[in-house]
Amino acid sequence: MKNLTFIIFAMTLIAAQSFQPLPNNVFRFSIDKGSSNYNWDKGQKQFSLEGIGKMYFDPFTHNDSVRFSSNFDLYNVGSLYVDKIIIDADTFSINSTVEEWMEELNYDFNLSLPVFESQNIDTNSFMFPKGSFYEKRSKTIESRTLRIDYGFSNEVTFNISIPYIDLFLNDQSLSNISVSSIKGVQPLIDYHQNSKSVLKNFIDSEAFIDLPGDSIEKILQYVYDLYYTKEGDYSVSWIQHAQDDPIGNDLVHKSLIPSEIRSEEGDYISLDSLVNWYYPNIKSGSGIGDVDIGLNILLKGDPPWSSQKSTESIYGQFFLSIPFGRTLSSFKNSFADDNSKRNQLNEVVFGKSVYRWTIGFLGVRYPKGQSLAKVFYQGKYKFSLPTTLNTPIRLFSGGHTHPDSILKMVGNTYKYDMGDGLLIKAGGEYEISKNRARILGELSSYYRGSDKYLSKSARWDKYMEQQSGVVSNLDFKMELWLINSVSVNRIGPLSFDAYFGYKERLVANNTYGNKYFYFGFSTFYQGW
């Protein structure tokens, strides 16, 4: 390519689109800058914490006999099988479950100590806290975009669009958070409160001292410590504090408190502390956004800039959005540096995370007898292929208060399939001063189907799909163009166009409403 020279020809722009047709071997460089504010009142949302409920009764863990057999709930703690235990350097063989050993102890010495058998509860009912919260989101985006267009021929125009996010500020507000107590668990609570009392009173009695030898005493003390001390491997001591309202009474069990904040909060944590940790109010970031490349191919008529232009021109359009924008990092790598706040919970996401394909058409028509006005219309279909992403760790979506438990349930990654989208756009423009200034108005409507999620947890998948839902919106846009690219009217040696725009979302369903102000500059060059 030889020296670049300014193009000198009569150019009529097709506005309201990123891809404007160009003649053969012509470049257009455009830079625009804008600032937008987005708001989304998501309203009242429901959630449930099944992971906490499983600590009371786990209906999902069974043995080979299809009996409930979790060792980490309150239902049948005696089902724990113990082979050998070491106490004070002494080794004791049990080779039975705790329940069988306690039954044998009661039989041998005519005692009536608790044996930790299965409890009389409704095993067909799921028992877990349920709640709701009110959510509002807002974000502020300040960005610059570089667009480069090139005419491969008079009929084919190539485009690349590179956005840079100067500021992405995200504000999330959760309020009116309420969590119910757990229904149906009182028999479990009563049993363990009574069992602890009975067992403790016996250990403190003369009857305990009178047991023959010290092996039985040590094993019985071991059983008590196993269940009813804080340090016990299968401790249920938390129930004394939690009762049937573990959230309202503050969480005390180590498996319920994120290890990253346990030292700061101490031995218990409130719901407010959990919410503030999982959902920081303000998050910000910057960087390159998703890069778009595409082609416009003339299908019917003449190019709009042609001296022999038809009354109507139609272009086929093919675009690809490449995911350069920031996505969530792995939670497993978060908090690696105690001095760094770069962790998943504080990250903002401004990329789609997927390769997004678009096919469509663009048409421009000149009304009969009008040389200063035209109308345009556009349709686009967008789709993508599934991709694998890092799991977002959220309190109200994960069903548990501890991130390790959420990751165990959901997995470190999940497969994401963005819903297909359909864009329809129509508008018109009018030259208020021929070859000097034009005004443009446009309406656009967008519809996107529900996103699909695939992880280790079907419950999580369903929750995430419900939260994303079907998206639809209606936008209005107005632009003012100042034209200095038409050779016969150009002022000065520089060929350029400048534009100012305002865009507002009139209807927003399951997405952000926004107002967007922007301005830009385009210049044209021809390579020889």
Q: Is the alpha carbon torsion for 205, 209, 211, 215 positive or negative? A: positive
Residue 415 forms part of a structural domain: yes
488 and 377 both lie in a single domain: yes
Residue 259 forms part of a structural domain: no
Query: Span 291-296, mean pLDDT?
Result: 94
Q: Which pLDDT score, from 0 to 100, does residue 173 have? A: 92
User: Which pLDDT band holds residue 194 (cuts at 50, 70, 90)?
Assistant: very high
More confident residue, 440 or 491: 440
User: Which pLDDT band holds residue 4 (cuts at 50, 70, 90)?
Assistant: very low
Type of residue found at 461: D
Percent of the chain at pLDDT exceeding 70? 92
Burial (CB < 10 A; 0-12, 13-18, 19+), residue 180, is middle
Q: Which pLDDT score, from 0 to 100, does residue 446 have? A: 96
Q: Phi, psi at residue 61, to the nearest 5°?
A: -100, 120
Q: Which pLDDT score, from 0 to 100, does residue 341 have? A: 54
Query: Span 198-210, mean pLDDT?
Result: 93
- E-only strand ranges, 337-399: 356-365, 373-384, 387-390
421 and 454 both lie in a single domain: yes
Question: How many domains does the chain fold into?
Answer: 2
User: Which pLDDT band holds residue 528 (cuts at 50, 70, 90)?
Assistant: low
In the predicted model, is pLDDT for residue 476 greater than 50? yes
Count Cα atoms within 13 angstroms, Cβ side, for 405. Answer: 21
**CA-based nearest residue to 29, from 116, 159, 123:** 159
42 and 65 both lie in a single domain: no
Q: Out of 13-27, 193-207, 351-365, pick the least confident.
A: 13-27
Q: What is the pLDDT of residues 294-344, one digit of tens each?
A: 999 999 988 877 766 778 899 999 999 999 988 898 988 776 655 555 689
Distance CA 108, CA 112 (A): 11
334 and 386 both lie in a single domain: yes
Instruction: Specify which residues 526 forms β-bridges with.
Output: 5, 26
Residue 489 forms part of a structural domain: yes
Residue 254 forms part of a structural domain: no
Q: Residue 331 sits in a domain of what CATH number?
A: 2.40.128.130
- pTM, 2 dp: 0.83
Percent of the chain at pLDDT exceeding 90? 55
Distance CA 319, CA 323 (A): 13
Q: Which pLDDT score, from 0 to 100, does residue 9 have? A: 34
Q: Extract the tokens encoding 494.
A: 């520089």
Distance CA 522, CA 32 (A): 9
173 and 89 both lie in a single domain: no
Q: What is the pLDDT of residues 137-190, one digit of tens each?
A: 999 999 999 999 999 999 999 999 999 999 999 999 999 999 999 999 999 999
Residue 257 forms part of a structural domain: no
420 and 306 both lie in a single domain: yes
User: Which pLDDT band holds residue 245 (cuts at 50, 70, 90)?
Assistant: very high
Contact assessment for residue 471 and residue 465, using Cβ atoms and an 8 Å cutoff: no
List the domain range (segments joined by +) for residue 295: 5-46+129-179+278-526
Residue 252 forms part of a structural domain: no
32 and 88 both lie in a single domain: no
396 and 356 both lie in a single domain: yes
Q: What is the pLDDT of residues 59-118, one digit of tens each?
A: 887 766 547 778 888 999 999 999 888 887 778 888 899 999 999 999 999 999 999 999
